[in-house]
Amino acid sequence: MKKSTIRKMVVLAIVAVGVAGVTVWKNLPFTQRTGARSFQPPPDSAIPAGKFGDVVRFGEQIFRDPATYAAPFVGNQLRCSNCHLETGRQGGASPMWAAYTAYPAYRSKNGHVNSFEERLQGCFRYSMNGKAPKLGDPVLVALESYSYFLAKGLPTDETAPGRGFPALPKPPLPADYARGSEVYAQNCASCHGAQGLGQSSGGQVVFPPLWGPRSYNWGAGMTSIKDAAEFIHANMPLGLGGMLSAQQSWDVAAFINSQVRPQDPRFNGDVEQTRKKYHDSPYSMYGRTVNGAVLGEPAFTPPAGTVPAGTDTGPVEAN
């Protein structure tokens, strides 16, 4: 074989490997492409047999369908897996394995060191607009067991790659409601509905409500425009993460978080004071005037903690 032929073949082989590499890379989830994920949590088949495995499995069931398996504590139509994608396994979508190894941790939200269980309580109180299970409740134990299982082999580390949502630079222009409504109509409404109320299939909520009385309340971390923009940019539209620009992500996050949603459970009766105490951030729209109405104003803000009637573990109000 001639030297030049060999050289040509080598060049061709290098090009072929390069093309194949790019093809594989393009098909990876956005968070993998950006290198945010390096840890591989174990699959369901690795859940051990026996009592502990049963509790891990129960935790995963709650995670997928909290309204069924943790009904007394859920006040809206969201599932844990709506934000913690791939049942809490996907890096860049607040994976549970990275959360597990990051606790106990100090949280400025409540000003003390929180155990992992206490952190889970916050999810129920705010994101699920429900009631926090008591520490040691089987629901919290199951979720903790499931998260522990997912984190197997991951060292204790509050900065595990893939934790939370990938950081997103500030956009060239300040986040804008009007532009965000356009982004929403074009990219989000066909699933989440023009009114943001989500959509069901066969009586089960498939696309979660993003605002309104059955979505996360004003105390949830997702009400931060920054957090929402990061989540959206990395993960939305579902399966097509990275499609929206940073500007589009910030704009649509501002639009979504400028809508009516259930009250902050820490509301003290005064919107302005509640804003000053808990929402003193340029990323929160709580207490701000949008379309002539003050967000959080009790007159048109659904109540916090609306768990289904008859499932409340606390005192039940008479009709």
Contacting positions for another protein (CB under 8 A)? 27-29, 32, 40-41, 43-44, 85-87, 89-90, 190-191, 199-202, 204, 206-207, 237-240, 243
171 CB-side CA count, 13 A: 22
Burial class (CB within 10 angstroms; exposed 0-12, middle 13-18, buried 19+) of 75:
buried
Shortest distance, position 27 Cβ to another protein, whole Å = 5
Q: Which is nearer to another protein, 132 or 252 (CB)?
A: 252
| E strand intervals along 123-202 | 199-201
Residue placing its CB nearer to another protein in the complex, 200 or 273: 200
Q: Where are the beta strands (DSSP E) in 51-110?
A: 105-107
Output 92 or 164, the one with its CB closest to another protein: 92
Quote the least distance from Cβ 190 to another protein, whole Å.
5
Beta bridge partners of 205: 200
Query: Measured from the CB atom, is 125 or 214 closer to another protein?
Result: 214
Instruction: Please check whether residue 60 is in contact with residue 146, taking contact to mean a CB–CB distance below 8 angstroms.
Output: yes
Cα gap 181→118, rounded to integer Å: 36
Which residue number, 104 or 237, has a Cβ lying nearer to another protein?
237
Residue pair 149/87 in contact (Cβ under 8 Å)? The answer is no
**CA–CA dist 174, 186 (Å, integer):** 20
Residue of 229, 223, 116 lying closest to 170 (CA atoms): 229
User: Is 104 or 193 the residue whose CB approaches another protein more closely?
Assistant: 193
Whole-number minimum distance, CB 201 to another protein, in Å? 3
What gap in Å lies between CA 233 and CA 258, rounded to an integer? 18
CB of 279 to another protein, least distance (A): 32
Residue 29: CB minimum distance to another protein, A: 4
CB of 239 to another protein, least distance (A): 5
